[in-house]
Structure 1
């Protein structure tokens, strides 16, 4: 079989079959770590809105690059399910249980892994639980921990706002939401980062997270509190232990990594543009407007895992087969020239970006993340007047994995 045929059917030119090609682009490795945006644009030129790629372990997938194609996948769970149990490469034994893809793509008993009525039952429990847990003071928790983090470096006159602020702040807040001790939250930062980073340690760190959260769930059965864990255990949907732990894991990893990354990018944008910084300080610009801009240009998840075709179909001119894995290029879709021909045009007031996903699985905790970031930026600028970037903007670097691109450091100076 050559790259232009699939089971005897002609494949569109420029869109080779995702399976069996030795020269497909890898979404991992040195090039992917340093220039993911360049890879997306090269793939768009070569293949159009959908491109065949290889994930870790050289597992084939379709990367969806087009905005409208991403929306089609996200909005149609009957054609593109989140249920990984139909993933052909996994069913046929080409994906090991120790693969770093499993923590990100594999099936779990949570709402993200299911569609239809099972999804509605579980998502309803999570949504209710988050509302109950966060209504008791998410902004108060964010203010407390933001000040506590700043206290650690406020007298030094300098800091790295990635390592000293953005990297830990969301997790510390989530420990209160979930009912964890603060010390446990600090340990979980490393494990959450490793799951997103991939590599051979991803599964080990994923198991560490599940162990800590399993112990939390058992503790909360006898010591209930005003937290998400207790809310899930007591919800009328009657979640079993595996379902409770899986949803705590989902909220922990998704809530921390995306909010941490987004906070760092918002601070980067503010500190590399004097007009934005002065606008925030003077009140002429809101943090939410800056967040919106970052959501378009550098979404916290660049690639969203994953969907699986429920039947043979065509997407973006490509012959997708039943059981094929698709990963959603949120960053690429946001800059699709078909819907955004000029990236320099302001997107203020336009919330149709893909950063929160879309459709039935759209992120249920986006308002929580927004609140954390607004408080984090406001407290920082209030506590450290005169805050400025300590290096030229062009010296700021990022490192990417398959799923995200994270700012390496954000050194700042301020008068003391």
Structure 2
């Protein structure tokens, strides 16, 4: 039996009182308190990730890193999952869409994983960083222009900005034409909102996109995946695109929202760059909070607990990043030592592009709305009561309305000390323009063409 590092220094307690639920209002209102309680029981503890679904949650940084970096003993293929194979997981459980097997790099091991991941990383490596920043700025400019002229000078930043921005950027990177891009956005948004048949909408749209690229290849990520030397089938391409969309858009939404809230908070130290706010969000509010289920290939010990082979061990990136044993000497660590992007062979292959998108999104907002403020103190903001992500429910802001929404300009970094724009309460709202037909991506592309 294998003994894993015990990063807690605290004897494991008896969980006879029942598993801690990692969902619902109580958890959502105080996840840090939940993690502190779990830490008192050792490097890991049993939790219910959803009603009737038990997993072992790792809260220790050292134990989490050990598991992430040891793929021989801890595999990702959830077809091993004991409770699922024994019929003990409810068929309608919200854990299944997040933990159930899919033929992609995330749920593969060994040679299969290496083949799929290489196709993804090689394709991502062709993305031009300057172009990516400009795409982000252009998408940000469009979205800000949709709410910056309202007479009351108020907006809800999560719904109006942080949520749609990554979807616009990714639809552009994948080379979606307008109608398919609209359906991709509707599908991925619906999956996270729990909309019925959203996965079918997304799958159908991506299937059409792949068929289109077979006929007419382009200089986009979809084409690069399809033309990679790994020779992915169309089904494999589709599942890698779904992984990139789901693994990129929702965490980026969370990172953009939290980073903006931190930067605009009264407690934020004047003079620090936006990059510091994004890094702090990744350390202290990991966008993917609890995920990356691993299945031990043999019985293992975590502290005083024995985990059976093929029982799921879930990594709490949020708890590991805020492990008191780690934070005591965090200043001595690299700023990138956090686990928000994972670690080991399954670490996020797009961590650098993701960081650049988040920074560019926050900086563009500060440039366009230099006097923007959050209307609620950071400590009073509401977080989504979900185990999977650490994301704000809403982020209400106020600003001086703008009468003209400029076209995308060259990239400029905001000064560390944000300027306060003069107030013009009498500024009229922008003149109504003809609304382009179609969904969000169609309207965005029409705007880029000046329509």
TM-score normalised by the chain length of structure 1: 0.87
Question: Is 2:247 the partner of 1:247?
Answer: no
Q: Give the Cα–Cα distance (whole angstroms) in 2 for the partners of residues 15 and 302 of structure 1.
A: 25
Closer, same or farther in 2 for the Cα pair 1:402/1:176, shift >3 Å?
Answer: same
Q: Residue 146 of structure 1 contacts residue 169 of structure 1 at CA under 8 Å; is this kept in 2?
A: yes
Map 1:8-407 → 2, pairs under 5 A: 14-16=13-15, 23-45=18-40, 47-95=41-89, 98-134=92-128, 137-156=131-150, 157-181=153-177, 185=181, 188=184, 191-192=187-188, 195-196=191-192, 201=194, 204-273=197-266, 275-276=268-269, 278-279=270-271, 285-341=272-328, 350-407=335-392
Closer, same or farther in 2 for the Cα pair 1:144/1:41, shift >3 Å?
Answer: same
Q: Secondary structure at the match of 1:314?
A: strand
CA displacement at 1:250 relative to structure 2: 0.3
CA displacement at 1:23 relative to structure 2: 2.2
Q: Give the Cα–Cα distance (whole angstroms) in 2 for the partners of residues 391 and 13 of structure 1.
A: 39
Q: Secondary structure at the match of 2:324?
A: coil
Question: Is 2:393 the partner of 1:408?
Answer: yes
CA displacement at 1:287 relative to structure 2: 2.1
CA displacement at 1:135 relative to structure 2: 5.4
CA displacement at 1:189 relative to structure 2: 5.0
Structure 2: 5+ residue runs without aligned partners? 1-10, 402-451
Q: Residue 99 of structure 1 contacts residue 203 of structure 1 at CA under 8 Å; is this kept in 2?
A: no
Closer, same or farther in 2 for the Cα pair 1:347/1:254, shift >3 Å?
Answer: farther
Q: Give the Cα–Cα distance (whole angstroms) in 1 for the partners of residues 186 and 42 of structure 2.
A: 37
Q: Residue 183 of structure 2 contacts residue 202 of structure 2 at CA under 8 Å; is this kept in 1?
A: no
Count matched residues.
389
CA displacement at 1:98 relative to structure 2: 4.4
Segment of structure 1 superposing worse, 230-239 or 94-103: 94-103
Residue 3 of structure 1 is matched in structure 2 by none
Residue 4 of structure 1 is matched in structure 2 by none
Q: Give the Cα–Cα distance (whole angstroms) in 2 for the partners of residues 204 and 56 of structure 1.
A: 21
Segment of structure 1 superposing worse, 403-412 or 65-74: 403-412
CA displacement at 1:260 relative to structure 2: 0.8
Q: CA offsets per residue over residues 31-66 of structure 1, 9 Å max, x none?
A: 223322221111222x21100111224111100011
Q: Give the Cα–Cα distance (whole angstroms) in 2 for the partners of residues 347 and 390 of structure 1.
A: 35
CA displacement at 1:387 relative to structure 2: 1.6
Q: Residue 50 of structure 1 contacts residue 317 of structure 1 at CA under 8 Å; is this kept in 2?
A: no
Structure 1: 5+ residue runs without aligned partners? 1-11, 280-284
Segment of structure 1 superposing worse, 131-140 or 383-392: 131-140
Segment of structure 1 superposing worse, 378-387 or 255-264: 378-387
Q: CA offsets per residue over residues 228-253 of structure 1, 9 Å max, x none?
A: 11111111101112211110000001
TM-score normalised by the chain length of structure 2: 0.80
Q: Secondary structure at the match of 2:136?
A: helix
Q: Residue 53 of structure 2 contacts residue 95 of structure 2 at CA under 8 Å; is this kept in 1?
A: no
Segment of structure 1 superposing worse, 359-368 or 388-397: 388-397
Residue 6 of structure 1 is matched in structure 2 by none
Closer, same or farther in 2 for the Cα pair 1:346/1:338, shift >3 Å?
Answer: closer
Bigger CA radius of gyration: 2
Q: Secondary structure at the match of 2:212?
A: helix
RMSD: 2.4
